[in-house]
Amino acid sequence: MLILTNEYPPDVYGGAGVHVEYLARELAKLVDVDVRTFGKQAETEGRLHVRGSAVAHDLGRTDERLRPVLAALSRGLGFAAEPVTADVVHCHTWYTHLGGVVTKLAYGIPLVVTTHSLEPLRPWKREQLGGGYDVSSWVERSAIELADAVIAVSRETRADVLRLFDVPAERVHVIHNGIDTDEYVPEDATDALDRYGIDRALPYVLFVGRITRQKGIIHLVRAIEHLDPGMGVVLCAGAPDTLEIAAEMESAVAAASERHGNVVWIAEMVDKPTVRQLYSHAAVFCCPSVYEPFGIINLEAMACETAVVASAVGGIPEVVVEGETGLLVDFEPAGDGSFQPRDPERFARDLASAINELMRDPARREEMGRAGRRRAVAHFGWAAIARQTLDLYESLLD
């Protein structure tokens, strides 16, 4: 199998990178796996081979907003330029789709595309990419409509693919994301909390993720003023999409800290041992995303026995069971294609209300945490997901 990906360890910043890391590891127990990624990796372990690829073109004079898009296309051509002996090529995120299309056509092998997100449903990317957003949308559409199989990470995402693209229904398959429940486990250590100045005497609500419109972190920050006193807020949030949202985040956190206090902002992407500690000692994990095809971050928190408050969007309700492993918060979209809430203030208050509800009932949230761990173990193991993926590959070759 040939897997093309933007992210691969040590360069992982989102759910797609987590997905590829564990899927490749599990597939390599069954077949030879060739991973081509953005970076400088060069490693072989058993049947797993990982090679990073540099940008092949001089982009020194390219407009800053277009540079990441054209760099991705350059790397995609580099992926296809290397000899290919695989039976199937499998792409993850639009960054690699050009490489996948060229590989399929040039080498005559089936193309599989996993839809971790969809460009038509991320209009805020124009703020980051300018006209590059039209390029990424074109590349994504071309790959999805040409693919021999499309993997949707949730039933909701499958419905989006069929609504937005010209793809026969029988080509679109649902295979969920997964979680390594041996790696994501409740953690007793607290040195990371001490390192970041988190008051262990206070129960805290936790956010982990990138600073982007999609993840809805600004709505959670605005909810802080409505939280009950006597709790902490920990925002593990870095990698802002743009300078504008970075400045907005700084202003909102400063204002929230003045009103509430006990706000800790970890403005960086942390390693796994640290994030395990943050999950494990949080009273509540909050995922306020406005668009989320699956929401692997919720699974990580659940596996660490933490109750979840999340927005009821995309694939999240397929992961978080309302009233059993957490609480889901609905909102009415603005209707302008932005996916932002029509009434942001009400959404912020509703998030705060759900968090307050669980904070006031320690026994309930602890039972939700245990139920979340059981659900993660029973339904989202990577070995089963790799087997489903390999079965799909083999059906294409048949």
CA distance 278 to 272: 10
Report the C-alpha dihedral over residues 12, 17, 19, 23, rounded to 10 degrees.
Answer: -90
| 241 pLDDT above the threshold of 90 | no
Per-residue model confidence (pLDDT) at position 339: 82
Q: What would the two tokens of residue 253 be?
A: 């956190």
Q: What would the two tokens of residue 316 be?
A: 């999240």
Q: What would the two tokens of residue 213 be?
A: 């419109």
Domains of the chain: 2-178+381-397 (3.40.50.2000), 191-379 (3.40.50.2000)
Instruction: Work out the percent of the chain whose per-residue pLDDT is above 70.
Output: 100
| 366 pLDDT above the threshold of 90 | yes
Q: 196-219, pLDDT tens digit by residue? A: 999 999 999 999 999 999 999 999
Q: What would the two tokens of residue 398 be?
A: 């048949």
| pLDDT band, very low/low/confident/very high, at 338 (cuts 50, 70, 90) | confident
Q: 149-166, pLDDT tens digit by residue? A: 999 999 999 999 999 999
Lowest-pLDDT range of 90-94, 257-261, 355-359? 257-261
Q: 36-93, pLDDT tens digit by residue? A: 999 999 999 999 999 999 998 999 999 999 999 999 999 999 999 999 999 999 999 9
Please report where in the chains the tokens 């988190």 appear, as a residue. 198
- Contact between 382 and 22 under an 8 Å Cβ cutoff? The reply is yes
Q: For residue 133, what are the contacts with CB-CB under 8 A and spacing of at least 6?
A: 119, 123, 125, 126
Per-residue model confidence (pLDDT) at position 336: 78
